[in-house]
Amino acid sequence: MNAAKISAEKGKKFAVYFSVGVCSIIALQAYLAVHISKFLFKNKHIIVYLMETALVIFAILAVYFFLHAKAKAGAEKKVKYISVSRRNSFFKGMLLGVLNLLTLPFYCGLNATWKVSGWIKFQWQDTLIFVISAALGTFSILYVYIFYFHKLELKSKSFTRYSDYIMGVLMVLLMLFTLIKLYYH
């Protein structure tokens, strides 16, 4: 949604620079996730500790999103417009890509699933295709947000109003899923 917001406030060109910044970080995270998955396949005992850590993180994030949603419901948001350069848009995209902490575990899990199913073998070709696909897939979605935001804007107002509640519920579901996996592990 940040790409759509930048598109609406500063123009489509700046939103594309933002998206390229996000995708550059996504490519690095996807590459790192492949190597983390490879490491975890060799050291399966570490997975239990990671799941316990994830459980705590999901609980903290759930509380944060529910508190943020409650605080946001009473406050009125003022829009502040600032001028930015292309470089600032690119680096803002990189910063938000780094701050998005869910991509790394997602790509690790995706790689692990594909390894178990036999779709990948952790060879350099598999890694290259995965990294390029993750970056291009992310850019494609952001591009759709940028150029079709005005059509989605009417529908997104209700989503924006409840987005923190949705994220809170998602974190609770992830926490429960992780708890069940830990119980049966």
pLDDT in tens, 82-126: 455 556 888 888 888 888 877 888 888 888 888 888 888 888 999
* Amino acid identity, position 117: S
Residues 34, 80: Cα–Cα separation, whole Å:
40
Q: Please compute, for residue 14, the number of CA atoms within 13 A of its CA located in the half-sphere on the CB side.
A: 18
Q: What is the pLDDT of residues 100-112, one digit of tens each?
A: 877 888 888 888 8
Q: Please compute, for residue 7, the number of CA atoms within 13 A of its CA located in the half-sphere on the CB side.
A: 20
Alpha helix segments (H runs only) across the chain: 2-10, 12-42, 46-74, 86-99, 103-117, 124-184
Burial class (CB in 10 A: 0-12, 13-18, 19+), 82: exposed
Cβ 51 vs Cβ 129: under 8 Å: no
- Other C-beta atoms within 10 Å of 2: how many? 15
Residues 80, 65: Cα–Cα separation, whole Å:
23
Q: Give the pair of three-digit tokens for residue 117.
A: 């199913």
Give residue 1's pLDDT band: very low, low, confident or very high (50, 70, 90): low
pTM over 0.85: no
